[in-house]
């Protein structure tokens, strides 16, 4: 016989929310690692001591953690979900009838106390600290990479870069424009490049117009991750413009900050060719003592059939290059303004040389440029064929997997917030959510075993 569900007539229930959240629920496991006592302490100076009590900041942080862990991108929807979902209510300590804050509370706090107190970075670092305490961070090998996240900026409302002027907006600037003005001298934003972008979005001028993904160009920010390769824990995250110079600057910032905050300095760093320019390699090798497992960014290869620089042998002791004919190429030794020495062969040697058509067919003598940091590039080249480098190349894929997870599962393919501060907030929360999920997966706390009566 077909059953029929009738509305129960019972008026009173004996209901315990705790009993209705399964032991293996992701939020229950995340809850074991989320300690917000510190957060309350950090935020205390930003609240007045008199007046009506505010919404509990810990409640807002818990709701934001739910939103970023489960890819709920709209704050309005997040409030509805928390209102209806028993596990969310349990995680937020709301009980069955606790009042869910209004969605407008989030933007008020985000633009106010949360930014002034830098609380989202504090939350991220608290979670990294917990990963360290749980033994999930090896500290020997790090990997760095950046991924483009579409900005909340419309191409149709953009203006050509050469028609854009900062002076036009100073008087009536929106929040994202004020953020942009505040980061003009920041190495990850305004100071990263002096090249004027092709288009600028007046509603979010810091967003970079980019065609780097080879499809249709769009406005984007870059999220930069520095991860420990043992368990793919994100040890630092940084928002930057979506250009190579800014991403390299962000990598340096993250390496220095991780050393300062957690006393963590890797023995090796894995990255792609974007990080393989001479200044970055020199900084890693000479200043930081980190082995660069990074392919060298090298434009000395020639594809017109003439000799590349690799055909010549560098004699470090004598500071000369030796050509295939055994002739020497010398430099004046003066440090040039573009940081590149030029080694020249003699016209007496090159003129009658039988290899001249393959060496310097269009010039009277051969010239070889050498960066002042070429020795650091040589260190990177010497590591390139080693098994350790091959291992790092495999481990580097873990960052790419984190970015894929970020976009597909956490649904952060497009930003909701504008400006450098908006991008920073979103990237910090997303990285916090990814680390919390990793903690919950790798260090599950088993429910207590029932004791025999």
Site residues, ligand SF4 (CB under 6 A)? 323-325, 327, 345, 349-350, 353, 355-356, 359-360, 366
Measured distance CA(117)–CA(43) in Å, rounded: 7
Q: How far is the CB of 331 from ligand SF4 (least distance, A)?
A: 14
Q: Which is nearer to ligand SF4, 105 or 300 (CB)?
A: 300
State which residue, 113 or 327, has the beta carbon closest to ligand SF4.
327
Is 86 or 344 the residue whose CB approaches ligand SF4 more closely? 344
Q: Which is nearer to ligand SF4, 311 or 340 (CB)?
A: 311
In the DSSP assignment, the letter for residue 365 is S
| 282/345 with CB nearer ligand SF4 | 345
Closest distance of CB 317 from ligand SF4, Å: 20
CB 209, CB 243: distance < 8 Å: no
Q: Provide the β-strand partners of residue 219.
A: 209
**Closest separation between CB of residue 336 and ligand SF4, Å?**
21
For 344, phi and psi rounded to 5 degrees?
Answer: -115, 140
Q: Which of 61, 55, 54, 69 is nearest to 38 (CA)?
A: 61
- Give the separation between CA 424 and CA 430, rounded to whole angstroms: 10
Q: How far is the CB of 354 from ligand SF4 (least distance, A)?
A: 8
Question: Nearest approach, Cβ of 328 to ligand SF4 (angstroms)?
Answer: 9
Of 239 and 360, CB closest to ligand SF4: 360
Q: Give least dist CB 343 to ligand SF4, A.
A: 10
Distances (CA, A) of 439 to 41, 218, 257, 416, 447: 24, 35, 22, 26, 16
Owner of token pair 């900005």: 151
Distance of alpha carbon 73 from alpha carbon 412, whole angstroms: 8
Angstrom distance (rounded) from CA 283 to CA 151: 31
Give 23 or 324: the residue with its C-beta nearer to ligand SF4.
Answer: 324
Whole-number Å distance between alpha carbons of 38 and 92? 17
CB of 300 to ligand SF4, least distance (A): 15
Residues comprising the chain, all counted: 453
Spatial CA neighbour of 90 closest among 28, 15, 12: 28
Q: What is the dihedral of CA 437, 439, 443, 445, to 10 degrees?
A: -70
Closest approach, Cβ 361 to ligand SF4, in A, equals 9
Write down the least CB distance from residue 357 to ligand SF4, Å: 9
φ/ψ (deg, to 5) at 367: -125, 135
Which CB, 230 or 349, lies closer to ligand SF4?
349
Instruction: Pick the closer one to ligand SF4 by CB: 324 or 413.
Output: 324
Q: Angle at CA 117, nearest 5°, toward 111 and 118?
A: 80
Rounded CA gap, 300 and 282, in Å?
A: 18
* CA nearest to 110, candidates 418, 409, 431: 418
Largest Cα span, the chain: 107
């Amino acid at each position: 016989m077909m059953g029929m569900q009738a509305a129960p007539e019972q008026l009173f229930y004996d209901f315990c929310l705790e009993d209705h959240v399964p032991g293996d629920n992701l939020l229950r496991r995340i809850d074991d690692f989320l300690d917000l006592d510190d957060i309350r302490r950090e935020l205390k100076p930003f609240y007045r001591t008199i007046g009506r009590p505010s919404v509990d900041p810990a409640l807002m942080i818990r709701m934001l953690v739910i939103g970023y862990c489960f890819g709920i991108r709209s704050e309005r929807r997040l409030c509805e979900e928390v209102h209806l979902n028993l596990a969310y209510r349990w995680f937020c300590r709301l009980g069955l009838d606790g009042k869910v804050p209004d969605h407008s509370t989030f933007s008020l706090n985000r633009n106010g106390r949360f930014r002034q107190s830098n609380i989202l970075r504090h939350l991220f670092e608290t979670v990294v600290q917990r990963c360290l305490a749980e033994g999930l961070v090896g500290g020997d090998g790090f990997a760095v990479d950046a991924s483009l996240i579409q900005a909340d900026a419309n191409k149709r409302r953009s203006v050509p870069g050469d028609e854009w002027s900062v002076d036009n907006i100073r008087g009536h600037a929106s929040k994202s424009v004020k953020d942009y003005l505040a980061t003009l001298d920041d190495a990850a934003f305004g100071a990263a490049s002096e090249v004027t972008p092709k288009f600028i979005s007046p509603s979010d001028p810091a967003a970079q117009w980019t065609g780097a993904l080879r499809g249709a160009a769009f406005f984007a920010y870059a999220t930069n991750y520095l991860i420990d390769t043992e368990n793919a824990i994100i040890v630092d995250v940084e928002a930057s413009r979506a250009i190579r110079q800014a991403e390299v600057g962000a990598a340096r910032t993250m390496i220095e900050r991780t050393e300062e905050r957690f006393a963590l300095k890797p023995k090796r760093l894995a990255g792609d060719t974007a990080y393989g320019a001479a200044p970055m390699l020199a900084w890693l090798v000479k200043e930081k003592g980190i082995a660069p497992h990074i392919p060298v960014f090298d434009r000395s290869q020639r594809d017109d059939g003439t000799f590349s620089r690799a055909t010549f042998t560098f004699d470090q002791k004598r500071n000369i290059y030796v050509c295939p004919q055994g002739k020497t190429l010398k430099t004046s030794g003066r440090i040039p303004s573009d940081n590149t020495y030029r080694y020249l062969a003699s016209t007496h040697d090159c003129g009658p040389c039988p290899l001249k058509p393959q060496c310097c067919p269009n010039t009277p003598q051969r010239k070889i440029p050498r960066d002042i940091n070429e020795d650091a590039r040589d260190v990177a080249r010497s590591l390139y064929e080693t098994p350790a480098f091959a291992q790092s190349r495999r481990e580097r894929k873990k960052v790419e997997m984190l970015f894929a997870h970020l976009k597909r599962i956490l649904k952060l393919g497009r930003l909701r917030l504008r400006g450098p501060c908006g991008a920073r907030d979103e990237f910090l929360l997303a990285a916090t959510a990814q680390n919390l999920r990793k903690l919950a997966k790798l260090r599950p706390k088993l429910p207590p075993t029932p004791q025999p009566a």
